[in-house]
Amino acid sequence: QVQLVESGGGVVQAGGSLNLSCAADSIKFPIITMAWYRQAPGKQREMVATMFSGKIAKYPDSVKGRFTISRDNVKKMVHLQMHSLKPEDTAVYYCNVEARTSWVSTNSADYWGQGTQVTVSS
């Protein structure tokens, strides 16, 4: 079964930095999109960074200029570098991968990590 393994969460003071990683090496078929989402208590899950195949990364205004997504297609890993963190960035962060379900089909499936807690103190 496909399993995404996340790491890097923790507690950091406002203005600090934190790097998250997610390993997707259990995925056997071509990866289309890699992304990061977050969900704070009482709020909807929010996309914070996406990178489509052959496309530039996209970010919402809330994190633009502070977060950077990167992907290693050889190691099948996705990273999220976070700088100038704010208390409102506190949430559970999830990695997401969209991948093909076979070598010949155009069908795809979404895979999710278990989530890692990021807490930014003031």
Per the listing, tokens 């934190």 go with: 18
pLDDT at position 2 is: 79
| pLDDT, tens digit (0-9, with 9 covering 90-100), for 39-97 | 999 999 999 999 997 778 999 999 999 999 999 988 999 999 999 999 999 999 999 99
Which pLDDT score, from 0 to 100, does residue 20 have? 98
Q: What is the pLDDT of residue 73?
A: 86
The pLDDT value recorded for residue 3 is 82
- pLDDT > 90 fraction of the chain, expressed in percent and rounded: 89
pLDDT per residue as tens digits for the range 6-41 = 999 999 999 999 999 999 999 999 999 999 999 999
